[in-house]
Every structure is written in structure tokens, then in C-alpha cells.
Chains A and B, each alone.
Chain A
């Protein structure tokens, strides 16, 4: 196990050890070492094509759904390598939930959107209460409470995204992964989702991929900066790598790497 540093007494909930991910023969990201601390919001930033979304999807085995995608290395969650052959990916996804880039509510009522996940996970308690508390936690209760039986599509984009967050919360995961959750939303909805994230931080570990550096700065405790370099054999392809990982303050105020400094200040990306 990796020792906790003095500064942070939080325990590692998820660790990547020498992870490389490829699509067929094309290596998307390689040799990533990364520790996510429980109760933190960690953001993954970097230019397009650096593999940050790929890494995020690897954390709950969503990459399994992409043909030809393969992973080398270890992803330790709760002491278990989730890429072990004996691991059931369905169980992994129950404990590590995911919110996607595009709001993707089910074509069902708002109520059913929340109840679906809970029900398939064997929830037997008071469903009404679960729906209400999940929507409250995702800060979308006031907009939804009078139309729980309306289609999830009747909500605006930002409300749909918060509904998707509520849906993820309802299955009580330990970690919530968010893949650019605000990229399809307007600034006001974005702000609301960020407020929601601050609320959720009390109970959940959140890992978020974002293109918006201000957002990373606003919401996250830790920031991982990914970059892409051209292959050494020089055929023009690029491979992503983890350039720097530190507290968000350090990354944005005094990054160690020159590329981080350049990306933060908007020189490329």
C-alpha cells in the first residue's frame, strides 16, 4: 500500500498503478500512476486527445463496452484490482457510478428514472423517499416535485443533467465519475451543477473530467493534468500521459512542469 502523506490523512479509495490503455494497436494513454483520495473532488484536465476521458471510463470499466479497448496495469478499488478476471463489471459499476457528457435520462418518467437503478440494485425501502432525497441531493427537487410522472425529457438540459446525477446518487455509489458533465450546458446550469457537486462532496468521492479550467479551479481539491506527446518513432500519432498531479492550488499557482504552466495559461490546448 502507498503511505498517506502527512498533509492528507484521507485514505486512497482508488489507485491506478502503471495503467496503459489502448484501442486496438493504438495506445491512447500510458504509464499512469494516480491515487484518488476518498471524499475529494479530483479533476482531470488536459488538451483534447490526451486520454483523460479514457482514463475516467477505465475507472468503472465502461471501456469494456468499446470494442478493441484493452488495459494494462492495475486499478485498485477497495483493495481489489477491478480488472481481475474474477471481478464482475456490473458490481464495479454499482459502486462507482457515472454521469455522462450529454444528459441521457431514460425515456421514462422522472420518478422511474430514479427508481430504475435503485430497483435493479435490490432497493427495498421507501421508494418515494429515495426519489425525493436523491433529487434533493442533486438540487433538482424543486423543479421536479410537481411533475414526477412527466417524462425525463420534459426537463431542460441542465435539469436533465441533475436528474442524471440524482439517478446516480440513488444507487448509493462510493465514487461518482463525471465526464465533462457541463459541456452541453449553459453557464447558469453549470453553476448549479457545481453547487450540487459541493454538496455531494460530503458523502461521495467525485472524479470529474473537464475542459473548463475555471471549473476545475472552482470545484476540485486535486487536479491531474494530462498531456499528449508524439510517439518517439515519429509517425505523427500521439499518446497521452499524466504530466502532473497535485492539489488544485499548486497546479494553478505554482505548477512544477513547464507544460502545465503553458496549458493553464492558455498557450495550447
Chain B
């Protein structure tokens, strides 16, 4: 029997193949990340140059031959308001539903049906959520006679956030070791005390991570808002504005990017810049939150 040398031999066919496929997968990975890099840098360059202090304070000017497009204050505030409404609806419902699935249900047909439904809802195109709220709220004028409104926009986005919140709550709670539940029940705590005081606080950070990701997703949605919140050029000043058309960054980009005027196009770039930066920030924040969770778990 011939003994092969123990040293690494480059020309061996298995080593050549190994090198080839390693480089191939690295190449594919690079191509996969390219769009992100291009999109982000393009927006940073195009949009970053448009950032001025007035951008954050002024109303946008209606498109026309006016050279000054104004600012995006109403859209910025509108996005915040609409996302807040969406969170106010979807976080309680979603966390409650997740608690039911993880803590109370016993894997029967009802909970299987809900889990299946949540997965389907997660796959529903966002425009469908918009059309649904349009049919339910906007066209029926059911909200005190108002049609397009920030409130309706928030509802549409909450439909999109709901599956994320339910799923992360469900999964976050399932990660809590059963021993902890037994410990609490074993000293005579009721189910509800156990969930409220032990299980939920333990899973808090993973739930928060999911909620934050859900918010980040909802904040960038355009289609559902076109059908529900529409757009507005005017400052948001009071509660009653919730019942009227409300601007948002995503719809502002959609509207102004299509305008033939250069001033409006620039405003759209600036809005894209702010939207991308805020969503990136939120995503990074949720990463930090998740990393922090793992660290505390290891203790």
C-alpha cells in the first residue's frame, strides 16, 4: 500500500473541488448582499445631500412650477402617528394571542387553526390589507363619517404587524423553560400570576425584538396607506386630524417621485433617506436587544 503524504496537496482533485465550491458560495453570497449595498449607498448619496433643517419643519408645497418643494414634517409626524396607532392595536391583541397559543392552548384543533391562520396572514400581500380596510372603514364612513384617515391607515398597518407580534410572542414564551413555570405553580401561584409575573418578564426581550421588527416593517409600507390614509400636505396639529387624510413618508415618496418636477423628486429622495435610516436604526436596535437577551440567558 502506498502511503500518501500527510501534507496538504493543492492539486488533489478533492482539494481543487473544495476550493472551487467555497469560492462559488462566497461569490453568490456577495451578489446577494450587493442590492442592499447599492440601494443604501445610492439613497445615502442622493438623499443625504438634500437634508436641511427646514426639511423637518416645513409643509410640502403642492407640485407646480414652484422651485421650492418645502419640507416633509407632516409626512414624518404622520408616519409616527400611524405606526403608533398600528402598535396600539396590534401589540395587545398580538401579545394576548401569543400568550393563548403558548400558555393556554393544548395543541388542539382550535390552536392549530389559529397558528395556520397567523401564517396565512403573514403571507397576505400588504395591498390586500389596504383594500380590506378600505372596504370595511373608508368606503362605509363608519368612523364618525370620515373616509380616508390616519386611523384607518393605522388599522391597515396593524393587520400587517399582527402575525409578527403573535409569532414572536408565541416563540418567545416557548423558549421560557418549563421548570420556571413549574417553580411558580409549585409554590401556589395561579396560571395568570405565573404568566404575568414570571413567564412574560422572562420572555420580554425576545417579544420586544419581534415587536420592534414588526414596527419597522409596517413603517415602510406604502400600498395599504394609499387606500386608507391617503396623503395630506398639512401639519398635524390635534386629535381631530386622526379622522382626516394623513401623510406618511412612504406615500410621500410614492407621490413625489412620480412628479415631473425636480424639487418634488428631491424631496422624495430626502424622505427615502430618512425612512431608510430610521428603519435601519430600528433594526439595529432590535439586534442589540436580541444580543442582550442571549447574554442574560447564559447567566
Contact = CB atoms under 8 A, between A and B. Distances in A.
Given A90-B189, A91-B188, A116-B197, A106 B182 contact: no
Nearest to A99: B186
A100 B183 contact: yes
Interface residues of A, number: 30
B182 A90 contact: no
B182 A104 contact: yes
Interface stretch (B35-43, B144-152, B173-181): B173-181
Nearest to B180: A104
B185 A171 contact: no
B183 A104 contact: yes
B107 to A, nearest CB: 7
A67 B106 CA distance: 7
B186 A100 contact: yes
A171 B188 contact: yes
B186 A62 contact: yes
Interface in A63-102: 65, 67, 90-91, 93-95, 97-100, 102
10 smallest beta-carbon distances between A and B, as pairs: A94-B188, A98-B186, A117-B187, A104-B179, A104-B183, A93-B188, A90-B190, A153-B299, A171-B187, A120-B189
Interface of A: 60, 62, 65, 67, 90-91, 93-95, 97-100, 102, 104-107, 116-117, 120-121, 151, 153-154, 164, 167-168, 170-171
29 contacts: A62-B182, A65-B185, A67-B107, A90-B185, A90-B188, A93-B186, A94-B187, A94-B188, A97-B186, A98-B186, A98-B187, A99-B186, A100-B183, A104-B177, A104-B179, A104-B180, A104-B182, A105-B183, A106-B198, A107-B296, A116-B184, A116-B189, A116-B197, A117-B188, A120-B189, A120-B190, A121-B187, A167-B183, A167-B187
Given A90-B189, A93-B186, A94-B188, 14 more contacts: A97-B186, A97-B187, A98-B186, A100-B183, A102-B179, A104-B182, A107-B296, A116-B184, A120-B188, A120-B190, A153-B299, A164-B183, A170-B187, A171-B187
